[in-house]
Each structure stands twice: as structure tokens, then as C-alpha cells.
């Protein structure tokens, strides 16, 4: 009996020690370490690294442990290369300085369980923004990725079962999404904008999901302006539902069945040209879309301020009430 009690005591003590060791350490850059890489090198799996801004342009960070990197006050840096599972990244800006072409802001290389949230990736001209290579079961959400040429804003290489939602993704001359032998990824509630290329480039065998079902919906596509006369899972019931009546077809294996009429989460603003004041220029923008509904060439979802699928006098009243005001 004494031996058994001693064994129980030892096991309890060991368990309590493990619990104590499991508590994460908080590391602050630059207070504790002058660079992000030094903080990562010193961290243990599970630790939280807070990075205070504003600039870390010299840093190309390699994250080789399961840590959380949280940017505070918008720190900006060149790149993060993630080579460990279960890494959490939030609140960073990525902007390539002059003379640094072919950049990759974030790379998930052979990893799973990682989350990329609320980041801004911009200004990388000749190269992709975010790259997933042999990566699965990761999440990219609520971020803004824009300003890319050739390769694409987000690139998937042999990567599957990743979830991409709530992002604004823009590309200048390359695709918003590039898929190379990558399947079973899920995209929904994103806003996709391209100006000189296809929205999505598909290479090899790539079959993915592009909506969250009905009525949650799919994505907003800048090059798709479907009518919104019908509703329901098969879009055959009377009445609009803010989901396009026709699917957005990338190819036979990649179809957004429920494309959004309005950008997901968009809050209407009478400052239609985003110049900070409601004035004659906003009235001109309104006039150019007046009388339109989804599916009409002049339709502009940003002008439908009351979101009733018709740009009419009621939207003009909202502009008139706010005329001359600064916004927000």
C-alpha cells in the first residue's frame, strides 16, 4: 500500500510538472529580442511572440516551431517561411522594398494546422503573395492580398484540404488563385478582383469547393455579374436572395454554385469613390449606375446603398442626406 501511494504521488507530481511546463511563454519583440528571428529561435513550441511595429524590412523569418506570431501596430516585413505545423500568424503587413523582385510573402512548406489571419500582403510585383507547397489543413482568413504579376496572389502546389475564406484578393496581371495539382481546398466569402487575367488558373488535376452551400453562399467575383431574380438551393424560386442565379464556372471541376451579388461583409458607404467626402463625384458614380439591377452591364453593387438589388431614388436619398459630409 505504501509503495502504491508513493507511485501515485510521483505520477501526480510528474503530471503537475508537465502542466507547468505546458504554460506558454510570452515573448515581445523588440523588448525581449531585437528581431523576430531571434525571438523564434529562443521560443519553445506553444510560445506566443508579440511583434511591435512598425518596420522589420530586413527580416526574412523562418518559423520552424509551433509558435504564435502576433503583429501589433502593423509591423511590416519581407517574408515568413513556415516549416512547422500548427503555426499561428496574425496582424502583419508584408511589403517588398524596391530592388527585391520575385518575392514570396508567406510560404507554408509541407505543413498542416497553420492559421494565417488578418494579414496584408502588398507590393510584390513579380512573384506570388502566399504560397502553399505540399501543405494541408491550413486556414487563410480575413486578409487582404493584392498587387501581383504573373504567378498569382495565392499559389497552391500539391496542397489539399485548406480553407480560404473572408479574404480580399486582387491581382494585377496574374490570377487571384493559382492551383497546381491541388484538390479539396475550400474557398468561400472571398472577394476576387483581377484586371488583366483570369481569376483562377488551374494546372493538373485540381478539383476544389468554391462555396459554403446555400444560403451561406460562395464568393464575390469582379468579372461575374449574374442576375438575381431567383432564390433557393437550385435558384429556381421567385425572389432575390443576394446570390447570383448563374454559377461562376472556372472549369468542370471548379464551380462556385452560389456567387455573391455583393462583396461579403461589405458595409455600404455613400462615399462611393472613397475619397473621404460625399460630393458631386459620388453623384456622378450614382448616375452612371442609375436604374440598374444585377445582371445589367452598368450594375455597380457599391452604389446599391440600401442593398435592395435596384439602384434607384432610395439610394440617391442616402447620398443626399450625407452630401457635403466627410466620411467616415
Question: 183-192: per-residue pLDDT in tens?
Answer: 999 999 999 9
Same domain, 167 and 296: no
- Does this model's pTM top 0.85? My answer is yes
The answer to the question of residue 327 being in a domain is: no
The answer to the question of residue 152 being in a domain is: yes
The mean pLDDT value for 203-219 works out to: 97
Q: What is the pLDDT of residue 125?
A: 59
Last residue of a domain, one of 171, 192, 209: 209
Quick check: 165 and 185 in contact, CB under 8 A?
no
Provide the CATH number for the domain around residue 299.
Answer: 1.10.1330.10
Tell me the pLDDT tens digit for each residue of 30-72.
999 999 999 999 999 999 999 997 777 668 899 999 999 999 7
Same domain, 193 and 290: no
Band of the pLDDT at 104, cuts 50, 70, 90?
A: confident
Provide the CATH number for the domain around residue 125.
Answer: 2.160.20.10
The answer to the question of residue 50 being in a domain is: yes
Instruction: Using the predicted structure, report yes or no on whether residue 261 has a pLDDT greater than 90.
Output: yes
| Domain total of the chain | 2
Instruction: Using the predicted structure, report yes or no on whether residue 5 has a pLDDT greater than 50.
Output: no
The mean pLDDT value for 140-162 works out to: 89
Last residue of a domain, one of 157, 181, 209: 209
Tell me the pLDDT tens digit for each residue of 162-189.
999 999 998 877 899 999 999 999 999 9
Least-confidence region, from 12-21, 38-47, 108-117, 299-308: 12-21
Cell of 300: 455597380
Band of the pLDDT at 148, cuts 50, 70, 90?
A: low
The answer to the question of residue 128 being in a domain is: yes
Band of the pLDDT at 194, cuts 50, 70, 90?
A: confident
Q: What is the DSSP string of 62-87?
A: EE-SS-EEEEES--EEEEEEE-SSS-
Last residue of a domain, one of 209, 242, 269: 209
Same domain, 183 and 296: no
Q: What is the pLDDT of residue 297?
A: 94
The mean pLDDT value for 288-298 works out to: 96
The answer to the question of residue 33 being in a domain is: yes
Q: What is the pLDDT of residue 19?
A: 45
All residues at 6 or more sequence positions from 58 whose CB lies less than 8 Å from its CB, including other chains: 78
C-alpha 292, offset from chain centre: 30
Quick check: 70 and 98 in contact, CB under 8 A?
no
Instruction: Using the predicted structure, report yes or no on whether residue 83 has a pLDDT greater than 90.
Output: yes
What's the CA angle centered on 293, arms 228 and 260, to 5 degrees? 40
The neighbouring-strand residues paired with 201 are: 178
Cα–Cα distance measured from residue 110 to residue 270, given in angstroms and rounded to the nearest whole number: 45
- Domain range for 311 is 280-322
Q: What is the pLDDT of residue 169?
A: 93
Tell me the pLDDT tens digit for each residue of 111-145.
999 999 999 988 655 678 899 999 999 999 999 99
Same domain, 128 and 28: yes
Same domain, 185 and 292: no
Amino acid at each position: 500500500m505504501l509503495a502504491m501511494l508513493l507511485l501515485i504521488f510521483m505520477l501526480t507530481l510528474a503530471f503537475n510538472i508537465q502542466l507547468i511546463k505546458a504554460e506558454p511563454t510570452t515573448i515581445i519583440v523588440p523588448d525581449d529580442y531585437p528581431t523576430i528571428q531571434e525571438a523564434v529561435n529562443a521560443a519553445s513550441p506553444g510560445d506566443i511572440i508579440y511583434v511591435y511595429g512598425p518596420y522589420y524590412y530586413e527580416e526574412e523569418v523562418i518559423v520552424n516551431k509551433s509558435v504564435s506570431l502576433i503583429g501589433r501596430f502593423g509591423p511590416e516585413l519581407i517574408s515568413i517561411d513556415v516549416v512547422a505545423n500548427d503555426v499561428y500568424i496574425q496582424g502583419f503587413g508584408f511589403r517588398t522594398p524596391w530592388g527585391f523582385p520575385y518575392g514570396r510573402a508567406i510560404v507554408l512548406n509541407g505543413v498542416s494546422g497553420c492559421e494565417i489571419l488578418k494579414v496584408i500582403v502588398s507590393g510584390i510585383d513579380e512573384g506570388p503573395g502566399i504560397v502553399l507547397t505540399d501543405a494541408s489543413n491550413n486556414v487563410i482568413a480575413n486578409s487582404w492580398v493584392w498587387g501581383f504579376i504573373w504567378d498569382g496572389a495565392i499559389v497552391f502546389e500539391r496542397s489539399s484540404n485548406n480553407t480560404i475564406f473572408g479574404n480580399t484578393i486582387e491581382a494585377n496581371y496574374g490570377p487571384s488563385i493559382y492551383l497546381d495539382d491541388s484538390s479539396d481546398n475550400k474557398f468561400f466569402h472571398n472577394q476576387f478582383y483581377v484586371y488583366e487575367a483570369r481569376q483562377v488558373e488551374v494546372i493538373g488535376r485540381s478539383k476544389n469547393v468554391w462555396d459554403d452551400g446555400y444560403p451561406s453562399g460562395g464568393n464575390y467575383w469582379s468579372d461575374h455579374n449574374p442576375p438575381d431574380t431567383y432564390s433557393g438551393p437550385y435558384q429556381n424560386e421567385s425572389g432575390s436572395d443576394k446570390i447570383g442565379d448563374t454559377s461562376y464556372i472556372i472549369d468542370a471541376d471548379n464551380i462556385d454554385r452560389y456567387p455573391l451579388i455583393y462583396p461579403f461583409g461589405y458595409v455600404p458607404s455613400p462615399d462611393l469613390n472613397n475619397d473621404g467626402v460625399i460630393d458631386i463625384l459620388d453623384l456622378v458614380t450614382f448616375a452612371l449606375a442609375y436604374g440598374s439591377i444585377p445582371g445589367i452591364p452598368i450594375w455597380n453593387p457599391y452604389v446599391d446603398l440600401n442593398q435592395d438589388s435596384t439602384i434607384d431614388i432610395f439610394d440617391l436619398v442616402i447620398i443626399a442626406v450625407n452630401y457635403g459630409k466627410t466620411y467616415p
